[in-house]
Amino acid sequence: MSRRAERITSVADARYLARRRVPRLVATWMEAGAGTGVTVERNLRAFEEISFNARAARHWPERDLETTVLGHRISMPVIAAPVGALGMVHSDGEVGVARAAGAAGTIQVVSFFTLRSIEDIVGAASGPIFMQLYYPGDREVAAPIIRRAKQAGCAALVVTVDSAAEPHREYPMRGRIDLGHPGLRDVLKVIPQGLVHPIWAARFVRDYRRRSMAGMVTRPNGKPITMFEMTALTLRASPVWEDLPWIHEQWGGPIVIKGILSAEDARRAVDVGAAAIVVSNHGGNILDGLPATVRMLPEIVAAVGDKVEVLLDGGVQRGTDVIKALALGARAVLVGRSYIWALAAAGEAGVHQIFRVYRADIDRALAGLGAQSVADLDGSYVRVPPDWLAAIRSSAGGR
């Protein structure tokens, strides 16, 4: 492992090192949420409202961190969330994350906006690969994408349902560029930043064509469309509930619905055949002002019971956050920004290291709680604000 990766002992370390390795524009892209970032902050702060109930005089020399997600046994309840354009932060990109996730014994969810082919990613992986699906306009376009992911060997399809509009991010005017249609002025803003980070710039130039032409959508001649074209295409439409049975039929395997934030939508996901749902506000990257995901988790779990596996996405920065989510009913959590920062800081080795950090922190938290296994965690290990409890009771009786 590289010395830089070994310096990562927390998500904060990964963020600090990442900001020193990439241009300011890329660092801003990794960190920024929609609007002024209110939802991003809510995701983080909500975990602080949850406190632990530790068991005294209990000691387990070894703790069990393993769990299962859709039948796949993983070494710990932490999964790599889908994040687009990973090659922008480091040339190891999605393939490096696949190798790191496999080495850590967990799952990678590959973004629809991958800059490497899904075939290359699955070929490099030693663990399960799930594929994210945005709804790219219509069924004729979606069908071959679903078939390609299935033929590549992806184990599940993660359908994102909370991206019906292009996000608006309030970047500082001085450093703002148009990523969708960059012009000469935008390029001139980036060049000085690239000169300050020559290693990143050299890799960026070397891999430019591969990154811009490796998407999941192809032209009639079989060549992939560019990332800019794919972004425009997916913003034309978003899946509605009536599309989900068709997607399920096309896929023929387990479907995960990502972007659930209410008990009503969670029940609807069960009705359309979802094997799992992800309680997610898209990391605060789509609509500013949404509630924190962990705040909504207990009432969603109460609404669906054991009819579907519930995963959580948003604001998970440390192992204690993972423990809190599991105690409130999540099967596992998805992490995004934390491994992006680690990737930017030290490539594949950095991602592997951040998974080690999560594992060690989860293990320490279990020991401190007096719990032997993540499977033992339940609501008795945590305290939540009174208004959360009222919502839980309401959801449990909603059907």
* Contacting residues for 268 by C-beta, under 8 A, at least 6 apart: 241
| Residues 25 and 193: beta-carbon distance below 8 Å | yes
**With 0-12 CB in 10 A as exposed, 13-18 as middle and 19+ as buried, what is 61?**
exposed
Task: Single out the catalytic residue among 90, 248, 282, 352.
Answer: 282
Structure tokens that stand for 258 in this block: 């990502």
Q: Locate tokens 């376009």: which residue?
A: 141
- DSSP assignments along 371-389, one per residue: -SBGGG--GGGEE--HHHH
| Residues 11 and 357: beta-carbon distance below 8 Å | yes
Helix (H, G, I), strand (E, B) or coil at 3: helix
Q: Give the helix ranges, DSSP H, for the chain.
A: 3-6, 11-21, 24-31, 38-48, 93-104, 118-124, 139-152, 184-196, 198-206, 208-212, 227-234, 244-251, 263-271, 293-304, 319-327, 337-369, 386-396
Catalytic annotation present for 282: yes
One-letter identity of residue 197: H
| Residues 310 and 331: beta-carbon distance below 8 Å | yes
Structure tokens that stand for 222 in this block: 């079989």
Structure tokens that stand for 382 in this block: 């945590």
Q: What is the dihedral of CA 188, 192, 193, 199, to 10 degrees?
A: 120
For the chain, report the end-to-end CA distance as a whole number of angstroms.
Answer: 52
| Residues 330 and 310: beta-carbon distance below 8 Å | yes
Which residues are marked as active site?
Answer: 282
